[in-house]
Structure 1
Amino acid sequence: MSQADKARALKALHVADDPLVLYNIWDAGGATALAEAGAAAIATGSWSVAAAHGFEDGEAMPFDFALRIVERIAQSTDLPLTVDFEGGYAEAPEQVAVNARRVIQTGAVGLNFEDRVVGGERLHHVEAQVARIAAIRGAAREAGVPLFINARTDLFLQSEAKDHAGLVDAALARQAAYAEAGADGFFVPGLTDPTLIRDICARASQPVNVLMRGDLRAVRDVAGLGVSRISFGPAPYIAALEDLTTRFAAI
């Protein structure tokens, strides 16, 4: 498939109640292993990629270095690849667009893009994030690749579970604004209440992505809530390291 075809294929995999399951990897070896195991698509996780190469999460890894890793992953498999783009490695929409163009050049056909200010505790104002998403969409259009932009809100990650019900409307307002700017999906990491997830899926105009953590344990249970995409974040890397150290200790 061409890169554009892969992007369209990735979008088609987002189906409510029959979600795309992404077991996030951090290198080309992991991508190849999952491809051989029957994965439908490949996804990186920023925390895992950073940790696997000796960096902290939060864009501490130099962008050029991150791009080399992504390029090797893209070259290792014919499956659609979506990349954790964090906050775009820039603030200004113009520079975010430049960086998105470089991600597309690696062969990736999707990216996660978060609205938290990297290195800070607040979120970008909706208007600012809308401009940044629109810049990414413009870069993708110029490249001729219908990049799948998975717009992530950190509203739930930065708050306590007891407050999540009161954030649903604000999250949906961001979803609508991000969709208007050119996003394809909506990612709500940190939200684990099944009732609230079901509500967001029913009211959102786009495929909803959840992160398996906390009370979210079984894919079959989450799938029934209307989600279209399930991510595992750093869990696969943590499990792999635990296995590595356990086996070493047993020698």
Structure 2
Amino acid sequence: MTTTAQDFHALHAPGQLLILANVWDPGSAVLAQQGGARALATSSAALAWSLGHADGGVLPRQDLLDAIARIQQVNHLPLSVDIEEGYSQDPGMVLSLVQALIELGVVGINLEDGHQPPELLEAKLRALRQALPRSRLFINARIDTYLSGRLPAEALEDDARARMQRYEAAGADGLFLPGLSDLAVARRLADATPLPLNLMSWPGLPGAEALRQAGVRRLSAGAALFKSCYGALLQDMELLHRQGELLDRAQALDYARTNAWMSAARKT
């Protein structure tokens, strides 16, 4: 099945909450689809870690493209890719990367301001939007001030609102505020823009229905699922090396069922 950016846009309609269980490889993509996903999104940290790289803009471009190509071999849903800051400060280089992702069937991206001034993300957004209409790409502009700790708490909301307005004017299709867990603030910021507001699952954040009623239209898991999976894996490995034993995990996947899922998902 071919998916389009229009399909992905439709999942962000007012009154809806799109929940994304972020994936990092073909296996996690298959499981997300079996678990009820309506779309897929990568986590930059999880994908980098799965390839043996640190997070933080150091993943080689070709490694990213190769990883996405492998995911697309088993993916039947709209896919959005987290490209951090675009792996370049040059808007033209960011555009080149995004065009290569679109050739792989990607319909959305996350692009963040990180530790850079908002003017740089604005320039990247304008370059992307000039070349790629909304019908071809959903651009989720990520605002990192709630995660970075660079601003005093009392300045965060006003700064977020200013960045939201800037990125909306530059062509963003969605606005992502990871680290925000105050529902009242989320409601005010959602009311301040016509664009979908995206939050990251976070301690203290209320459940899906409360978020939907507050106007939040997208919820991401970030790297949390990878950390949970690999935390259990590390625990099992330590026990195996220490005692030669493995835990009998009730939630462990069944071999035959998992094999059938992978076989059915593989595109020819």
TM-score (ref. length: structure 1): 0.89
**Correspondence for 1:147 among 133, 137, 152:** 137
Q: Give the secondary-structure state (helix, strand or coil) at the position aligned to 1:157.
A: helix
1:97 aligns with 2:95: yes
User: After the TM superposition, which residues 193-208 of structure 1 pair with which residues of structure 2 at under 5 Å, given as runs?
Assistant: 193-208=182-197
Q: Report Cα offsets for 1:193-237 as digits up to 9, x if no partner.
A: 111111101112210000111212533333332100000101000
What percentage of aligned pairs have identical amino acids?
35
1:164 aligns with 2:153: yes
What is the Cα deviation at residue 165 of structure 1? 4.1
CA contact (8 A) 2:2 2:76 kept: no
1:179 aligns with 2:171: no
C-alpha separation in 1, matches of 2:94 and 2:101: 11
1:23 is matched with 21
2:264 is matched with none
1:130 is matched with 122
The letter for the 2-side match of 1:190 is: G
1:43 aligns with 2:33: no
For structure 2, list consecutive stretches of 5 or more residues without a partner in the other structure.
Answer: 240-244, 247-268
CA contact (8 A) 2:140 2:175 kept: yes
What is the Cα deviation at residue 61 of structure 1? 1.6
Q: Give the secondary-structure state (helix, strand or coil) at the position aligned to 2:222.
A: coil
TM-score (ref. length: structure 2): 0.83
Q: Report Cα offsets for 1:151-209 as digits up to 9, x if no partner.
A: 01112111279x33422222122212211211100000111111111110111221000
The RMSD of aligned alpha carbons is 1.9
C-alpha separation in 2, matches of 1:177 and 1:138: 16
Q: How many residues get paired?
A: 240
The letter for the 1-side match of 2:116 is: L
The farther-off stretch of 55-64 and 168-177 is 168-177
1:63 is matched with 61
What is the Cα deviation at residue 247 of structure 1? 3.8
1:216 aligns with 2:208: no
What is the Cα deviation at residue 7 of structure 1? 0.9
For structure 1, list consecutive stretches of 5 or more residues without a partner in the other structure.
Answer: 117-121
CA contact (8 A) 1:98 1:139 kept: no
Q: Give the secondary-structure state (helix, strand or coil) at the position aligned to 2:86.
A: coil
Q: Report Cα offsets for 1:15-36 as digits up to 9, x if no partner.
A: 3443100011100111111112
